[in-house]
Amino acid sequence: MNVTRAMALDYGSQGVRVNAVCPSLVATPMVTRLDDETLKLLIAEFRYKERVNLPKL
């Protein structure tokens, strides 16, 4: 995130917008059906933070 912020500060005056995508697990119906072992494997394989985020309504 710091690289994104730095690039935005460096190039913002030239009209360039900088965005970042931070993948994570979101508590959707698909994710909440997973058993604990599968969820742990997903977290380890994709290096997600060890939590599941709640969707914004």
User: What's the CA gap between 55 and 57, in Å, rounded?
Assistant: 6
Nearest residue to 23 (alpha-carbon basis) of 47, 57, 54 = 47
Give the pLDDT confidence score for residue 57 in this predicted structure.
67
Quick one: average pLDDT of 33-57?
78
How far, in Å, CA of 16 to CA of 25, rounded? Answer: 29
Q: pTM score, two decimals?
A: 0.45
| Helix ranges, the chain (H) | 2-11, 29-32, 36-46
**Higher-confidence position of 11 and 40:** 11
pLDDT digits (tens, 9 = 90+) for 2-37: 899 999 999 999 999 999 887 777 888 888 898 989
Contact 48, 24 (CB under 8 A): yes
- Higher-scoring residue by pLDDT: 33, 48: 33
